[in-house]
Every structure is written in structure tokens, then in C-alpha cells.
Structure 1
Amino acid sequence: MSNVTALPRETRSIEAPAVEGISLADLYLSDMNPRQEADPEGISLLADSIAMIGLIQPIAGFRDKAGKVGVVAGGRRWRAIRLALERDPALAAERPDLALVPVRLAPDEATARAWAAVENTAREDLHPADEIRAFGRMREGGADVPTIARTFGTTEAHVYRRLALAALPAPVLDALKAGEITLGAAKAFTIAQDEALALTVLDQIRGHEVSEHRIKQMLQPEAINGGTDRRARFVGIDAYRAAGGRATADLFAEATLLHDADLLDRLFTEKLEAEADAKEAEWAWIKTLAEAWVPYKMAEKMARLYRVEGDLTEEQAERCDELAELAQAEVLDEDGQAELDALQAILDGDFTDEQRRFGGWFLCVGQDGQIRMDGPYVRPEDRAAAIEAEVLTGHAAHQIENAKDDAPKSPYSGALVADLQAMRSAAVQGAMLDKPELALDLLAYTLAQKWGGPLAVRTDESPITPATETGFAPDPRLLGREDEDEDAAPEADPFDAFRAKGKKHRNAVLALALARSLRYSDHDPIFAKIEAETKASLRQVWTPTAENFFGRVSAEYLDALHLDLTGCDPQCNGFKAFKSQKKGEKAAGMERLFTDAAYQSAWKIDAEKKARIDAWVPDCF
């Protein structure tokens, strides 16, 4: 049942009552008005708007027995008028609509109650697309941002955000108004530099749930996010620009997009090598790595060196204990902390000159753009000399001799690898559907090869049969034939009918058949080339879950992956709790790390880590 009081029959049949000018002193907020509270900031903004352009819509009220008028609809406007006149009493003389407020008076109490209910339940805010266009028209007419904000009764920050979208192509705003894309998707289009590409992407995403990150990839597939890319964070945006690098701003992500990947790679390598040169003056060797981490196998047969711990004098030990107690009580001042750190450094010790003569470090750049060093290690070829110099003694001198030569067992089973390969094929096949010319090039290339090429020309379909379909979402076009219509009547001449559909339809059918026949290969470079050219990714069709991946690898693998993706301290209580869980619980937790925003927040997954999780794939390829 509606709580809106029905209008009397005679009220419904007459014209709306005329608007009367009522003195502000005779107006008050009626108990009938459901909005008894109002946001002060919103009222302040509305007061600015009314002071500038006046009252556009009259207030609705009901005259009581004392002759006063209670405001039943338009309480925010009434409050804003009062505030505007408090700020500037001269407005009453300049604007008649503020001296005598336009009020539409209800003929009876039942009508007043109906007005109050309808006004406050049926009111609809301006659609974002309409607001964007309205702000844009005012801006084109010469209005500045403060003027637009006062006119519409909103904040300047809100106007700036809307104006950033005002230059979008009209079809994008039309799609936003029609509900075919979200406001977030529209924001992603602000990075587009090619309108034709933008409209092509718009056609591809209409009516689909596509992440802003994915849309940006489609609009600028080669662009590099200067705020999250570790190379860019290490080199620095200023250094990249100084070297002639091209960059544009992503307004809504508050990020800078870089467009010269080769230049960034060169600057990254040069700076990393410069860091290595500085370190190599102190050590026997420094090995730089392009990766963000040191692979386990790289140091597997090396011997680690450890600092030679120092000793404190009796006096120093007593002082260290005193300072430690103050620090634990959180009353240690800055000078005391520095003294404690110096004493702790003595206890921690340092590497000897002999250790530096044989030892070295791996040097890489982490996801945060900071230098990471792993070591020091003694290389296998220096091991004998290090033992002779007594740099390696005891267990360290023998542990490498006893190490097994066979490679460690892969964490991925054959069945899991086969599933991942099949889904990787599905990602490339789906991407090929939008590149029919590429599919035709592959067909021609295959036919030209004496011993065959990357396509099964008989259009035998490559199997996509993972053990579970959980988390697997291939392009739906791969699962059906677009040109099939079982209910359609047979054509008199089906070949002519097919040709009449045009080249676009023909190319789509060919692309589908050829894409389905593409074979996965880990040794033929053509598959990798097609994957790179189509910018296909396993993660476009697959989300790792407990069922399809995490439950099929070891608990130790999950521990290492969790540490790598979260970047948490291995000694923190959260990770210790994770590590102590059973494998099934760990697998469920890893699934939540990939899919659950609340779980990600608990692990302090920022935008950079989120992007890395969204792009992560197993290293078995």
C-alpha cells in the first residue's frame, strides 16, 4: 500500500493552484515535509546558486489557521533562501523572488500531504550524461568553474570531474545515458587519443561488464602506467620526460601514461647497471636481473655468506638494555633511538673484507620501484678458493657438495599444465575473432608451407577441455556458429545467400573457423607471436580458483605465492596464521585474494598489487 494520501476527486479535476508571493517571515517548515534534516554543505551550495540565478521552481506550501504557510515541499530551497539573505540582505531588494517567495498553495490538507510525499519520493537527480553536457555547454559559453558550481549548487571539485568528461565523443555520452556503459567506463574513455578506436571499443563493450582497467588496455594497448609500472617508478617520470619520452595524463586514475616502451626499457637498464657498478666496487660480483625477484634456481647451488656478529663491552651492553626498555615502553626519544640503533648495528656485525672478496649480490627492482638485493653468495666457481681462504667453513663448506644435481620437481601437474594450455589457447582464439585479417594471413601462410603451418587447415577444432569450467569464461563466439539458424527456412541457393551477407560476415565466419583450429604450441614461435599481436592473455578467460588451480598445487607453493603477491612480512601474524592453515583453507584464501575486495583490503592490497594480481599467470609456460 502506498503511504501517499489520495487527492480528493474534486482536487484532481481542477487546475493547479496559482503561485503566490509569500513573505519569508510567514514561511516555516511544515511537519508534513518528510525532509526535516538537510546537509549544511548542500544548503550552502544551493544558496550560492539561488543568489546567482534566483529561484527557478516555486515552493509548495499549505496555509494554517494562523495565516502562516508551512513548506510541505521545497524545504531545501526555503533553507537556502534564508541563508542567501543572511549572507547578503541586499538581495531582497535586488531579487523580488527572494523578498516575496513564490509559493504554490495547496487548497486543502489532503492535497498538501500528497504534494509532500510525491515531491520527495518521485524526485530524480539529473543523469550524469545530461549533467556533463550541461556543464560543458556553460564552459563553452565562457562560464568559469566557480560560476558553474554556484549555478548548479554543487562543488567545484564535482564540476571539474564532470568537465573532464565533457570532451568525450557524443556516442560515448549517448551510451552512458542509455545505460549501455557505466560512469566508470565513460571515465576510462578520457585516455583515448584515437576517436575511431574509441568508437570501435565502445561497440565492443556495449551492454557488457568490462573493467575500467580492461577498457584502458583496449584504448591504449601499448601505454604503460607510470604510477604502477616498476620500471617507471624506478626511472622516474621526470627522467623519462627529460629523455624525450612521450606521456599523457589519465585524469581519473591520477596516473601518467607512458608511450615509449623501448626508451623506458633502455633507461631502466642503464640506471640498474649504474647501481650495479657502484656496488661492484665493494664486492666480487653483482648480477643484475630484469625480473622483480630472484628465481630460486639461480642461487640454488650457491653458498650464502652471513655477517660476522660483533660484541658489546659490559658498559655498552648495560646501556643497550636500558635503551631497549625505554623503547619497549615507547618513551625513547630520537637521540636515544639513534644510540640504540648504533649499538644494535654493532651486535648485528658486518661482512669482512675476505667475504667481500669472494661474495656477490643479485640486484633487481621490486614492484615498488625500489632496488632489492639478495645475497651475498659465493658462486660455485669461487667455492674452492673461498673454502681455502676460510670464508666458507663447517657446514657451509660441505652443503653444496651434497646438493642433488637433478632439478626440483615442478609444482604443476601434467593435467594442470594441460588445462592451462587449453585455456591459453582459448584466450588467443577469442582475441583472433576480432582480427579476421590476421586469421586470413595465417591461413595463407599455412597453405604456403611445404610441411604445414600453425593451423589445422581442415578446421579441426583444437580442444578446450579443462578439468573444471569454474573460473573459465572463453569468448562465447567460440562456443557457437554465428551463421547458424536452425529455425530458418532453407535457402533456394545457400551459397548465393551466404555471399549476399557481405565480406564482413564472410570474414567473421572464416575468423571463427580458423581461430578454433589454432593449436597451442610451446616451441613454435608463431603461436607466441599471434598471442602478442592480439594482446591475448590467459587471465582474460580464466580466473584462478581453489577448484581449478590453488587446490592442485602444493601448500608450500601457496605460501610462496601469497608472500609474493601481498608483499607482507613473513614474520607478521597474518601470514603466520595463513601458513598454519590446512591446504584446503589456504586454497580458499588464495581464491579470495583474487576475487574478494574485502579480503584484499584486509591484506592491504593497493592499486599496484591489485593490478599485479589481476595480471598474474602461472610460470609454467
Structure 2
Amino acid sequence: MSNVTALPFETRAIEAPAVEGIPLHDLYLSDMNPRQEVDPEGIALLADSIAMIGLIQPIAGFRDEQGKVGIVAGGRRWRAIKLAIERDPELIAHRTELTFIPTRLAPDAATARAWAAVENTAREDLHPADEIRAFGRMRESGADVPTIARTFGITEAHVYRRLALAALPAPVLDALKAGEINLGAAKAFTVADDEALALTVLDQIRNRETSEHRIKQMLQPDAINAASDRRARFVGIDAYRAVGGKATADLFAEATLLHDADLLNRLFAEKLQAAADAKETEWAWIETLDEAYVPYGMAEKLARLYCIEGELTEEQAERYDELAELAQAEVLDEAGEAELDALQAILDGDFTDAQRRFGGWFMCVSQDGTIRMDGPYVRPEDRAAAVEAEVLTGHAARQIEGAKADAPKTPYSGALVADLRAMRSAAIQGAMLDKPELALDLLAYTFAEKWGGPLAVRTDESPITPATETGFAPDPRLRATEGEEEGEDEGSAPEADPFDAFRAKGKKHRNAVLALALARSLKYDDRDPIFAKVEAETKASIRQVWTPTAENFFARVSAEYLDALHLDLTGCDPQRSGFKAFKSQKKGEKAAGMERLFTDPAYQAAWKIDAEKKARIEAWMPDCF
């Protein structure tokens, strides 16, 4: 028995089979090769690479019984060689390896199958960081993008994407290669213009999941995206750069970043004011706003003007109908469209010179960077003169304050005003329930002002019930019964000492009972400053308990009032077909439509009610308070 210990594995030298030159016509794709289908575009790119630098790596195959060689690894290279020669038959004169294709022959079928499996499963694509550096070195040596693409057998677009990262600091590419950041994070670093800051940010995000957007914010904390900022869109990148504004490109977001906010703000203000000055030559006033919209309430005290519609002659009206029919059938030529537009302009009308003498506009820049105009309006200080000049007539001429004896009467009936006051009271009373200290202060103040004897206190409840309760939802505590007020169970036995039992419930219960009784007794008096103070302190609003409906409000005012209110809330063009259709409806239909404007999201969407207009609708209340 031998004393020699056997090694666990037998070691022996492995000799790779020699490479032979095989004529192209003796090669074919073996059934062992798993890549039977390939991308033609990829083959074309690989053919470009082989035509430029030749075949670097031999293919592998197994000789069959007929002496032909079936390719088990390198089928793409074989296809690319054939395509390259088809394109340029003279290529074989310059590339000797294409005359006899370098081929490594497997000694047996088992080896051939192993090669086929390993070739297509064990190979590894070039790491993005290595690609970036390789492409960058070739570009530095003078190679252009098409040359790099043909050399590596890839698309030019892929080369451009990698070259965009070639100027990144070496530590960023090292982090990408080490897997400490991903390719998206590396792309974000292309916006950096301060290498020291870039390396600081790199240290902060290593091995941390950080979005590209956040990385860009860290690298450019004060940068302004010219594609999304309304000021930049309004001013324009060229105008910003023309006066020395600093900007850099975000290559992968296809955006430009601006770095001088003060300069941008100045250019924005100057351009907006120039637009206002040009418009003010036509109107009495133009007021520019910094916001992207006209804030709610800005035009609340102003009277709106509407252009004066024109009339067509009988001949023009006939021609208009004829052209409109052709346009509807989509057979109207360019000259006909111009004629139709001219007739439509007559119908749409225009503002008169008198209106322009008194009217003005609010001007701002919307989120898309375009000028937005709201108006025209007559200011309160010009209202009397506008009425006298008959620029404002009818409902629009009604005075807001200090109405004259012959001024138009209010659009609200006495019964409607009484209902609105009742619901306003309910809103304030309900809000008082959660402010017992305020209620007690009011009680003490009442005693101090009207002291009349030891606890000879009487609280008369103010009515809060309107004629119709549609859309009315007061705080349910205001309508609680006596037992419900104190939390008693129906049918429970009376307490032996009710006063002690009441006191035992604590101060919180006592304050709630007092607040309820005092809230119910609050009198409606909009002339009393204390009433207004209570309303302001409780932040009460009639809209907290009341939603206007056709039944409780819209059917109880005039059709003209509904027209004006619809225009005010929707901001639509009174000359467009949508509003004209609304205006032509019967009053009941208008009332129903106004209710939907307040309650139906689908109806609001049809009238393009955005968030700003929706907020106005939700806060709107009649101007009779």
C-alpha cells in the first residue's frame, strides 16, 4: 500500500486547440449554436467594425463528416463578415483574415457543445464606466463619433450618450465602476460646474439611493430650469444670455439651467412692464401682477366691461351662413376662411372708445410663460363717471356703497335676504360652539353693559331656519333637544340633586352648555362691530353651512344676475358659443346650470374650471352682506 497521499484534484496542462484558417464558403451555422436569430441592425454595426479594424477574435466550430465546419460560437461575427464582403468585395484584399477565417476547431462534439454554451452565457459586456473612458480616449486621439461607433460595432447614439459622461471627474467614474452609484446618478453629475462641490455630493450619496432630481438639486441648489420656470419662458434663454446671464445645459434632461436669479427677475419685470406700457396706450390703466394669475378678490369691487357686439347686413348674414356651411363641410378655401373670419369679427364686436377711456386690465404671466390678461374693468374711483358716460348701465351701474335714491334696486328679494341672514347666523353660531371662552366673554360683556339684577338672565334663540333647507347643513348641536344638550338618556330616572349632578359633569360640560345657549341667542346685526368681530374671530362663513342651489338661491334672482355671475366665476369669453348658449337658456335652465357649476365636477370640467376658479366658487357668497 502506497504511503503517497492522493491530491483531491488531478492537475494537468490544458492545451487550447490550434486556430486554423477556414474558407468562408466552408463555414455554416451549426445547430448547436443557440443564437439562431439575430438583430440585423446589430450585424450591420458589427460589419462596420470588422471592415474598419478586422476580425480580432476567432470564431469556434466543429468539423462535420463532409469536411465543412459548423460554427458553434461566433455566429454574429460570421454573419458580419459575409455582410462586410457583400458590401465591399475588395475588402478581402486588405483583410487577409477574411480570406481564410480564423477558426478554433473543437476536437469532439462534447467540447463543441461546451463552447457553444460558454460563449453565450459566460461573456460579459463592457462596463459603462469602461466604455465611457474608452470612448473618451478615442475622441481625445482624434476619432470622431462615426469612427468610434464602427470600431465597437454600436450605434452613434450610444456613443454620444457615453461621451456626454466622458468629462465627469475621475472619482465619479470610479464610483460608477465600483457600483457605489448607478448610471442615472452619474448622468446627474453632468450639471455640475464646481468639481469640489461635485466630489462633496458624491461622498454624500455613495451607496445611498438618491434620485437624479435630488442630486441635481444638490449640485445646482440655486439653478433655475429654463424649461419649466415661467419667468425664463417669458424672457427667453437668448435674451438672458445676451446680457451676460450664466447658463449650463442639463444634457440628459434636455434642459438649460440658469444661475442668475436677480438678472432673470429684472429682465422679467422689464419685459412685463414694456408689454403693459404698450397696452396702456389703448386703455385707461394696466396693472401688472407678480403672480401667475389674478388673485381671488382682486376684481371683487370692480365693474366688468363687455365688448359691443356688431350686426351684419342682410347680405352679409346670407354670405356668413353660406361660408359657415362650407367650413362645416371642410371645403372652404383660404380666401373663404379669411372672409368668414372678417364677418365673425364684425359679429364679435369690439370695445368702444368710451369703454377704453374708463376701463383697464390686470396683466400677469401664466405658468406657460405667456401674458395673461384679465378685464377690462372699471375701478371704483371711475365708476360714477363711467355711469354718467353710460359706459356702465343696468345692473352694472348699481352702486356698491352710498346708493342714490334712483339707483337700481337690489337683485335680492326680502325673503331671500332673510334666508341668507338666517344661514349666516347659523354659521357663526355653530363656530361659537367650539369657542366657549368667547361665548363667556360675550355673556360677561352683556352683563357689564346691561346689568339688571341677580341672574335675571333670559336667552332668546335667534331663528336660523330658512324658508327652504335645501343645501343648508348647520351644526347639528344647534338643533339638539334639551336632553341631548346635557347628554341625558331618554327615559332615565331624574337625579336626586340635579344641580350637584350637573356640577359633577365638570367644567368642560358646563362650558359646552353655556356656549350652546349663548350661541343660540346671538342676534344678527351686521351693523354692530361686535357681530363682525365674532364672525372674524370664529372664522365663520355662510359657505360652511350653505351651498347655493337652484331652489335656495339661483331661481330666486334674475336671469341677468345669473349671466353676470356665470361670467364672473367661469371667466369665459362672452362672445364664444358656450356662454351664448347659456345666455339663451330659460331662467330655470340657467339656475340648474349654476347649481351644477357649484356641485358637479363633470360640469366644472366642461367649463374648464381650474384650481383657482374652483377656489373662487367654493368661497363665493352673495354680495348682500
Task: Indicate how the Cα distance of structure 1 residues 41 and 308 shifts in structure 2: closer, same or farther if over 3 A, else same.
Answer: same
Q: Does residue 1:124 correspond to 2:124, yes or no?
A: yes
Report how far residue 188 of structure 1 moved: 1.5
Report how far residue 67 of structure 1 moved: 2.1
Q: Secondary structure at the match of 1:296?
A: coil
Deviations 1:136-176 (A, max 9, x none): 12223333322222111122332222112111112211222
Q: Secondary structure at the match of 2:319?
A: helix
Q: Does residue 1:83 correspond to 2:83, yes or no?
A: yes
Task: Indicate how the Cα distance of structure 1 residues 286 and 95 shifts in structure 2: closer, same or farther if over 3 A, else same.
Answer: same
Report how far residue 84 of structure 1 moved: 1.5
Task: Indicate how the Cα distance of structure 1 residues 262 and 16 shifts in structure 2: closer, same or farther if over 3 A, else same.
Answer: same
Deviations 1:545-589 (A, max 9, x none): xxxxxxxxx999xxxxxx99xxxxxx9xxxx9xx99999999xx9
Deviations 1:386-444 (A, max 9, x none): 2222222222233856799x9xx9xxx9xxxxxxxxxxxxxxxxxxxxxxxxxxxxxxx
Q: Secondary structure at the match of 1:299?
A: coil
Q: Give the corresponding residue for 2:237.
A: 237
Q: Give the corresponding residue for 1:271.
A: 271
Q: Is the 1:302–1:400 Cα contact (8 Å) retained in structure 2?
A: no
Q: Give the corresponding residue for 2:358.
A: 358
Whole-angstrom distance in 1 between the partners of 2:304 and 2:145: 62
Q: Give the corresponding residue for 2:507.
A: none
Q: Give the corresponding residue for 2:337.
A: 337
Whole-angstrom distance in 2 between the partners of 1:581 and 1:121: 65
Q: Give the corresponding residue for 1:550.
A: none
Q: Please list, as runs of the form range in 1=range in 2, the aligned pairs for 1:532-547 lying within 5 A after superposition.
A: none
Q: Please list, as runs of the form range in 1=range in 2, the aligned pairs for 1:51-130 lying within 5 A after superposition.
A: 51-130=51-130
Q: Give the corresponding residue for 2:38.
A: 38
Amino acid at match of 2:155: T
Q: Please list, as runs of the form range in 1=range in 2, the aligned pairs for 1:6-21 lying within 5 A after superposition.
A: 15-21=15-21
Amino acid at match of 1:36: Q
Q: Does residue 1:157 correspond to 2:157, yes or no?
A: yes
Q: TM-score when scaled to structure 2? A: 0.61
Q: Please list, as runs of the form range in 1=range in 2, the aligned pairs for 1:135-284 lying within 5 A after superposition.
A: 135-284=135-284
Task: Indicate how the Cα distance of structure 1 residues 582 and 91 shifts in structure 2: closer, same or farther if over 3 A, else same.
Answer: farther
Report how far residue 90 of structure 1 moved: 2.4
Q: Give the corresponding residue for 1:289.
A: 289
Q: Is the 1:555–1:583 Cα contact (8 Å) retained in structure 2?
A: no
Q: Cα RMSD between the aligned structures? A: 3.6
Q: Please list, as runs of the form range in 1=range in 2, the aligned pairs for 1:504-519 lying within 5 A after superposition.
A: none
Report how far residue 68 of structure 1 moved: 1.9
Q: Is the 1:44–1:80 Cα contact (8 Å) retained in structure 2?
A: yes
Q: Is the 1:27–1:69 Cα contact (8 Å) retained in structure 2?
A: yes
> Which range is displaced more, 312-321 or 108-117?
108-117
Structure 2 unaligned segments of length 5 or more: list them.
1-9, 402-409, 412-419, 432-545, 549-569, 572-577, 579-592, 609-625
Task: Indicate how the Cα distance of structure 1 residues 397 and 582 shifts in structure 2: closer, same or farther if over 3 A, else same.
Answer: closer
Amino acid at match of 1:118: V
Q: TM-score when scaled to structure 1? A: 0.61
Whole-angstrom distance in 2 between the partners of 1:289 and 1:368: 16
Q: Does residue 1:349 correspond to 2:345, yes or no?
A: no
Q: Give the corresponding residue for 2:326.
A: 326
Report how far residue 198 of structure 1 moved: 0.4
Whole-angstrom distance in 2 between the partners of 1:251 and 1:367: 24
Whole-angstrom distance in 2 between the partners of 1:287 and 1:582: 33
Task: Indicate how the Cα distance of structure 1 residues 317 and 208 shifts in structure 2: closer, same or farther if over 3 A, else same.
Answer: farther
> Which range is displaced more, 42-51 or 120-129?
120-129
Amino acid at match of 2:202: L
Q: Does residue 1:28 correspond to 2:28, yes or no?
A: yes
Report how far residue 356 of structure 1 moved: 0.9
Deviations 1:47-69 (A, max 9, x none): 12112222122212232332222
Q: Is the 1:138–1:148 Cα contact (8 Å) retained in structure 2?
A: yes
Q: Secondary structure at the match of 1:35?
A: coil
Q: Give the corresponding residue for 1:389.
A: 389
Q: Is the 1:303–1:378 Cα contact (8 Å) retained in structure 2?
A: yes
Q: Please list, as runs of the form range in 1=range in 2, the aligned pairs for 1:307-456 lying within 5 A after superposition.
A: 307-398=307-398
Q: Secondary structure at the match of 2:311?
A: coil
Task: Indicate how the Cα distance of structure 1 residues 321 and 32 shifts in structure 2: closer, same or farther if over 3 A, else same.
Answer: farther
Whole-angstrom distance in 2 between the partners of 1:221 and 1:201: 12
> Which range is displaced more, 176-185 or 301-310?
176-185
Q: Please list, as runs of the form range in 1=range in 2, the aligned pairs for 1:571-582 lying within 5 A after superposition.
A: none
Q: Please list, as runs of the form range in 1=range in 2, the aligned pairs for 1:594-613 lying within 5 A after superposition.
A: none
Q: Is the 1:309–1:350 Cα contact (8 Å) retained in structure 2?
A: yes
Q: Secondary structure at the match of 1:384?
A: helix
> Which range is displaced more, 192-201 or 219-228?
219-228
Task: Indicate how the Cα distance of structure 1 residues 290 and 15 shifts in structure 2: closer, same or farther if over 3 A, else same.
Answer: same
Amino acid at match of 1:282: E
Q: Is the 1:303–1:400 Cα contact (8 Å) retained in structure 2?
A: no
Q: Secondary structure at the match of 1:322?
A: helix
Q: Secondary structure at the match of 2:297?
A: helix
Whole-angstrom distance in 2 between the partners of 1:337 and 1:279: 29
Percent of residue pairs bearing the same amino acid type: 81
Task: Indicate how the Cα distance of structure 1 residues 584 and 286 shifts in structure 2: closer, same or farther if over 3 A, else same.
Answer: closer
Whole-angstrom distance in 2 between the partners of 1:130 and 1:89: 34
Amino acid at match of 1:46: L
Q: Secondary structure at the match of 2:238?
A: helix
Task: Indicate how the Cα distance of structure 1 residues 50 and 365 shifts in structure 2: closer, same or farther if over 3 A, else same.
Answer: same
Amino acid at match of 2:242: A
Deviations 1:15-35 (A, max 9, x none): 443322111111122333333
Please say which structure displays the higher CA radius of gyration. 2
Deviations 1:358-391 (A, max 9, x none): 1111111122221111111122222222222222
Task: Name the count of aligned residue pairs.
Answer: 416
